[in-house]
Structure 1
Amino acid sequence: MRTRAIRPSGSSHKNISPFGDKEFSLDLPTVSTPDTRQDVEDLHDHHLAAFGHTDPMEIEQSHCPQTTPQRPTIIEGRKVTLDQAEKLLSSFRQQSPYFPFVQIPAEATVPSLSRTSPFLLLVILTTASIRDPPLYHQLDHEFKRILSTKVIVEGRKSLDFVQGILVYVAWYPIHANPKNNQAFMYVNLAISLTGDLGLDAELPNPNNFKNISTLGLTDGGTFTDAAKRAYLGCYYLSSALSLGFQKPAELRYRDLMGSHGQRLLKNESSAEISSLITLHYLLLRIADVHSSYEPTEDLQMETLKAEVNIQMFQHEIQEWRTSVPMSIRNMPFIGLAERFLGCAIYSYELGFLRRPYRDHLRSMAANGPANPAYLESCLQASKTFCEYILSLPETTYSKFTTVQWGMLVHVILVLSRLTFLMAASLGWDSDTTRSNVPLIMYLDALCYRFEHLSVIPAGTTETPKNPDVIYVFRMILKSCKKSYERRVSKIEPGFLVVDHANVIGVARGHCPILDPTLNPLFDISDSTYGGSLELNESATPSASSTAASLPQYHDVWAVMTGSWAEEF
């Protein structure tokens, strides 16, 4: 980026734009194209082996022949023109409603944003260029350079930086470098900035703004709606990531967040935020109820507690439905959140997200079978979610944020675990199981849609050099489908057996990612989750031997590509 004038960071009350006052100029450097093809091929080979397809000839034919290593492709430096930038901004406007915490005014243009929110503009251009890999990699390189220089080195703080980081994390590019997930680092940086800006207080304190740009932050002694939205966005993203990966939350719900949401209801363009936060907070409460739950030997009391919890949460969802206009409920991202809650109520109650899941199966064998009514309700709620997501236009999927992708991952995992538990409880055979749990149909439908959405041409047999996230996710779903089909075909009455040491039979699945052979592909510090390593005692290090040295979480890429399918 070119800079025409630099002002001291400590005294400015307006953002310092890297663009000129009268012209738009964005110079991108020469960079090397990252080649993720080998990552994808290694991942695919591991899936084939994990699912029992170990024929060397089949694996060799599954991807393009090995060739002599070549020098990295160079992407020459270029200048993004005003027309190109305006097209990218227009493209971003189509997906921005799925993360309503950062809103772009209808009258905003690239030149105006370059003056008021230059960092946010850079992130918008980066996010919107995802279908142009060379341009995306150059913009992503520039994003990281500007962030490290201005925020980390120079210590600048502004609402512009918070908004930019939130947009970046909302559409986090997990496909760009699966070995190096930094989502938590970015979101924690955003949380730190919100604290420095005073957004965790009801009213701004001017005495704290000595070295802070206040442009867009305050208005007449109060925080602007944009600032309130950013604070709520930090909570939404950070808590969603923490919940998905069972990592301690860095930003917890406060009454101030509820009051912000109520005030934003008065703004027609922000009314959906209050509903989204309400649903999200309810989801976190559902998870919290079960996170520290310790079952007792009193089965009657356990049944009563479960029923009270379910009725309480269902009542709150119904209250929300009656208080929210249909215009908001019909928004796709609100519809997904609402239907996901229905699945979450029962999936948490049934323990489908417990880790290690095999330990939960052992406890179920000791304490009695799962409530058949809960199993059926969970199945119906999961079907409702899947059928809703399949009813959305294909173009909707490319707008999904990390949170919405996480919901889909959650439901696929729940349906898989639900399949084998219901089959064992109700004495189903494989044919009955297929007819009652249509997970294979859902996976087929999703793969078909992803094939047409990916920038990789349909029918491509060779692994692309730079696959997009849709392509990789489709590949993983196909692998999961193959594993699921193989296991369902072996279902017969009495197939699920739990002894004192392990789960035996077709219900025992394998995590395709948490395998020591994948250490070169995924950083051990990011791809492991404490306590969930005991997937295969003969092939995987025990939790006790690694707990002292490994952090208690795994990365987004691992979740997207299979560690969420720990027992799939």
Structure 2
Amino acid sequence: MLTTRTVRGRVDNLESSYSEILALLRRNVEAEASPAPSSSLYQPPSIPDRRSQGTRSAFELGGSQSIFPAVVGTEMLPLEECDSLITAYRRMSQTNYPFVILPESCRAASLIEERPMLAQAIFIVTSWRNSARQATLRASFLRDVSDKFLMRSERSLDLLQGLIVYFGWCHFYTITFSSEGYRLATILVTMAIELGITQKPLTVTQHDLLLNSSSIFPQTNEATSSKFWSYEARRAFIAAHIISTFCCLAFRRHSLLPHTQYVEDCASSLATDPQCPSDSLLIYWVKSMALAELVSLTFDHGSRERICELNDDKIQLLVKILVRQLDEWKATLPPPNSTNGHLHRAYHCSRAYIHEVGLYGLVQGQTPSITRISIIYECFSASMKDLSDILELSLDDMSEWGVMDWRQLNLAVMLCTKSSIILDSTYDGGVESSQRASWLAKCLDTLCQRARELHGMAMTGAGAGASSSPEQDKDHFLKRIANEWSNVKIYHQTCVQRNQPPPQAQAQAQTQPQAQVTMHPNHQAQPPSLQQQGLLQSSDFPFDVDAFNDVYWFGLADAEASSSTFTTTWQM
């Protein structure tokens, strides 16, 4: 019988073979079209040749002409405002998404000329307070992607970087992310593979021809050009890998671009010889995603068959091994500051994700073991610390978050809520249960308020009334996530009240000494012992609910599906 790892291994081999076949086909086509002079290596056409070929292909295939040049310089997008948007993008990307970096010397005019697709994507994500402009630019961008990628079969660093930026903040404008998000990730990963940047360069000058080193963007130095691609290409490769892993974890699917030694080598080379401060942090991104991928492979989250193979003692042993690796990763992090706060918050979220395995395989009405309860408690504690750190951020900080930051926050909310409900339904109430409920309610109130404020900023910005329909306003990510968190709060309070002991039992409990518990971000309290709290057989909570699958993607899922997710799985 084939195991999941065996099947995935075979899929990896098939995808690798498929990529090699595509590369050979491209080489054969070029060889037949124009015989190579003396070298047998594939030499892509120069940039002017590619542009002329692209224009000719568009004419022959009936490709539509981009409306982006017609928008730039108009009242909708004044050229002087473009430079302000680029400055805003530098600030957003430096902290939250450092995969496409613009040098300080880069100006709007040169960016639009050299990288039109990247320019469009940057203006889209930085126009989140101007929905009219964002909608117009987004329509132009998607039309150009379809024309270039599908009709012309164009593969360029400009197009790849544009997709990376567009994906990074897609929560501002993407509703059906369950399909669109994975499709975007598939396209940009495919493009990265076909550009060849997922492997070492074949020649020293290959990246010059393929990635247009004559542009305004600085390139790699002489010492590393034979082993690695340019700075931009390495960042793009790392971004494609991280986005692929992110979608793998979110959709419980096979990673399109799994972790390899080469992606780690690329990140290490950027840390050794950084072009900008954020380059030194990419190695931590890569290692964090590698550990998350290992957790997914170890427990195969969402697979009931895998959970049934492991008893609680084996699960606890695996959890300890993974936590040890996570602690080793944290020990290498630089001291917290304004640019690496995301990585320090990721530690708590990763710790909660490792302990998420304790939430699965529970049978309704069955009392979990003490070992399982300790795992669930650690899941609650880690997710609570993550939420506590996020509450210390300002509204301006969260306004520049990327889609992965919001997904991480939503995961922490769901894991914290579900683990708290299981703990409350397993133990006979108590002081700690009440404090958990009170703290989580205040936390969710604050997060809902911030999401609604950001939604109001997006809807009341320039041009909002001209382009925002009632349907768009209703399905806006920030509004929907605030409504969902409000429902989560109500459901959690309902479960807490349901599990409260009768008045007589409460009176008896008040006469007995109880340990004082303070819900502090750094608290290290342990689950109550059997002598302190009476174990109950839980019958009300639907233990088979998968907080990750059922609710995690609700804000980016189809509108109708997301609106019914909560009521169909967590019935009130």
Under a length normalisation based on structure 2, what TM-score does the superposition of the two structures give? 0.69
Alignment equivalent of 2:477, drawn from 452, 457, 469: 469
Instruction: Work out the CA distance in 2 between the residues paired with 1:554 and 1:243.
Output: 15
- The 1:210–1:95 alpha-carbon spacing in structure 2 relative to 1, beyond 3 Å, is closer
Mind listing any 5+ residue stretches in structure 2 that lack a counterpart?
A: 1-43, 55-66, 462-467, 502-533
Task: Report SS of the residue matched to 1:80.
Answer: coil
Instruction: Work out the CA distance in 2 between the residues paired with 1:342 and 1:298.
Output: 20
Shift of 1:288: 1.5
Q: 1:113–1:121: 8 Å Cα contact kept in structure 2?
A: yes
Task: Report SS of the residue matched to 2:158.
Answer: helix
Mind listing any 5+ residue stretches in structure 1 that lack a counterpart?
A: 1-9, 19-23, 30-76, 355-359, 499-503, 513-527, 536-552
- Write the deviation string for residues 181-236 of structure 1: whole angstroms up to 9, x where unpaired: 41111111111111111112122458988995534697554410110110110010
Counterpart for residue 47 of structure 2: 13
Alignment equivalent of 2:306, drawn from 291, 294, 300: 294
Shift of 1:371: 3.0
Counterpart for residue 341 of structure 1: 350
Instruction: Work out the CA distance in 1 between the residues paired with 2:201 and 2:211.
Output: 16
Note if 1:234 corresponds to 2:231.
no
Structure showing the higher helix proportion among its residues: 2
Alignment equivalent of 1:92, drawn from 84, 89, 93: 89
Mean Cα displacement is larger for which, 203-212 or 448-457? 203-212
The residue type paired with residue 406 of structure 1 is R
Q: 2:164–2:240: 8 Å Cα contact kept in structure 1?
A: yes
- The 1:288–1:298 alpha-carbon spacing in structure 2 relative to 1, beyond 3 Å, is closer
The residue type paired with residue 435 of structure 2 is S
Counterpart for residue 389 of structure 1: 390
The residue type paired with residue 505 of structure 1 is D
Task: Report SS of the residue matched to 2:257.
Answer: coil
Shift of 1:465: 5.7
Instruction: Work out the CA distance in 1 between the residues paired with 2:309 and 2:267.
Output: 42
Instruction: Work out the CA distance in 2 between the residues paired with 1:192 and 1:105.
Output: 27
Q: Computing the radius of gyration over CA atoms, which structure comes out larger, 1 or 2? A: 2
In the TM superposition, 1:193-204 aligns within 5 A as 193-204=191-202
Task: Report SS of the residue matched to 1:361.
Answer: coil
Q: 2:259–2:290: 8 Å Cα contact kept in structure 1?
A: yes
The residue type paired with residue 191 of structure 1 is V
Counterpart for residue 505 of structure 1: 540
Identity of paired residues, percent?
16
- Write the deviation string for residues 390-440 of structure 1: whole angstroms up to 9, x where unpaired: 0111111122222111111211111222122111322216x7533124221
Instruction: Work out the CA distance in 2 between the residues paired with 1:457 and 1:298.
Output: 52
In the TM superposition, 1:27-38 aligns within 5 A as 27-28=70-71
- Write the deviation string for residues 1-41 of structure 1: whole angstroms up to 9, x where unpaired: xxxxxxxxx844268599xxxxx983249xxxxxxxxxxxx
Counterpart for residue 34 of structure 2: none
Instruction: Work out the CA distance in 1 between the residues paired with 2:495 and 2:441.
Output: 12
In the TM superposition, 1:186-225 aligns within 5 A as 186-204=184-202, 212=210, 214-215=212-213, 220-221=225-226, 222-225=228-231
Note if 1:256 corresponds to 2:255.
no
Q: 2:426–2:535: 8 Å Cα contact kept in structure 1?
A: no
Instruction: Work out the CA distance in 1 between the residues paired with 2:454 and 2:413.
Output: 20
Q: 2:451–2:479: 8 Å Cα contact kept in structure 1?
A: yes
Instruction: Work out the CA distance in 1 between the residues paired with 2:167 and 2:320.
Output: 35
Shift of 1:121: 0.7
The residue type paired with residue 80 of structure 2 is D
The residue type paired with residue 92 of structure 2 is Q
In the TM superposition, 1:419-498 aligns within 5 A as 419-428=420-429, 433-437=433-437, 438-454=439-455, 455=457, 456=459, 466-467=472-473, 468-492=476-500
Shift of 1:85: 1.5
The residue type paired with residue 325 of structure 1 is P
Q: 1:28–1:142: 8 Å Cα contact kept in structure 2?
A: no
Task: Report SS of the residue matched to 2:70.
Answer: strand
- For these two proteins, the number of residue pairs brought into alignment is 451
- The 1:25–1:314 alpha-carbon spacing in structure 2 relative to 1, beyond 3 Å, is closer
Q: 1:509–1:567: 8 Å Cα contact kept in structure 2?
A: no
Counterpart for residue 416 of structure 2: 415
Mean Cα displacement is larger for which, 161-170 or 433-442? 433-442
The residue type paired with residue 425 of structure 1 is T
Task: Report SS of the residue matched to 1:257.
Answer: helix
Task: Report SS of the residue matched to 2:426.
Answer: helix
Task: Report SS of the residue matched to 1:96.
Answer: helix
Counterpart for residue 379 of structure 2: 378
Counterpart for residue 9 of structure 2: none
The residue type paired with residue 245 of structure 1 is F
Q: 1:275–1:324: 8 Å Cα contact kept in structure 2?
A: yes
Counterpart for residue 243 of structure 1: 249
Shift of 1:284: 1.6
Shift of 1:90: 2.0
Note if 1:269 corresponds to 2:278.
yes
Counterpart for residue 557 of structure 2: 557
Counterpart for residue 6 of structure 1: none
- The 1:258–1:202 alpha-carbon spacing in structure 2 relative to 1, beyond 3 Å, is same
In the TM superposition, 1:103-182 aligns within 5 A as 103-173=101-171, 175-178=173-176, 181-182=179-180
- Write the deviation string for residues 421-475 of structure 1: whole angstroms up to 9, x where unpaired: 111322216x7533124221111011122233222469xxx99564343233212
Counterpart for residue 320 of structure 1: 329
Shift of 1:321: 2.7
The residue type paired with residue 270 of structure 2 is L
Counterpart for residue 69 of structure 2: 26
RMSD: 3.9
Mean Cα displacement is larger for which, 392-401 or 420-429? 420-429
Counterpart for residue 542 of structure 1: none
The residue type paired with residue 486 of structure 1 is T
Counterpart for residue 15 of structure 2: none
- The 1:94–1:193 alpha-carbon spacing in structure 2 relative to 1, beyond 3 Å, is same
- Write the deviation string for residues 220-262 of structure 1: whole angstroms up to 9, x where unpaired: 5441011011011001011111211212221111110111111
- Write the deviation string for residues 72-130 of structure 1: whole angstroms up to 9, x where unpaired: xxxxx965220121222222222112111111112211012122222101100011111
Instruction: Work out the CA distance in 1 between the residues paired with 2:252 and 2:472.
Output: 30
Q: 1:508–1:567: 8 Å Cα contact kept in structure 2?
A: no
- The 1:85–1:227 alpha-carbon spacing in structure 2 relative to 1, beyond 3 Å, is same
Instruction: Work out the CA distance in 2 between the residues paired with 1:196 and 1:155.
Output: 11
Counterpart for residue 59 of structure 1: none
- Write the deviation string for residues 21-79 of structure 1: whole angstroms up to 9, x where unpaired: xxx983249xxxxxxxxxxxxxxxxxxxxxxxxxxxxxxxxxxxxxxxxxxxxxxx965
The residue type paired with residue 284 of structure 1 is E
- The 1:440–1:154 alpha-carbon spacing in structure 2 relative to 1, beyond 3 Å, is same
Under a length normalisation based on structure 1, what TM-score does the superposition of the two structures give? 0.70
Instruction: Work out the CA distance in 2 between the residues paired with 1:311 and 1:480.
Output: 30
Instruction: Work out the CA distance in 2 between the residues paired with 1:244 and 1:148.
Output: 25
Shift of 1:386: 0.5
Shift of 1:477: 1.6
Instruction: Work out the CA distance in 2 between the residues paired with 1:100 and 1:259.
Output: 17
Counterpart for residue 80 of structure 2: 83
Counterpart for residue 543 of structure 1: none
The residue type paired with residue 13 of structure 1 is I
- The 1:311–1:486 alpha-carbon spacing in structure 2 relative to 1, beyond 3 Å, is closer
- The 1:564–1:232 alpha-carbon spacing in structure 2 relative to 1, beyond 3 Å, is farther
Instruction: Work out the CA distance in 2 between the residues paired with 1:184 and 1:361.
Output: 30
Instruction: Work out the CA distance in 1 between the residues paired with 2:487 and 2:309.
Output: 40
Instruction: Work out the CA distance in 2 between the residues paired with 1:448 and 1:464.
Output: 21
Shift of 1:150: 1.6
Task: Report SS of the residue matched to 2:197.
Answer: coil
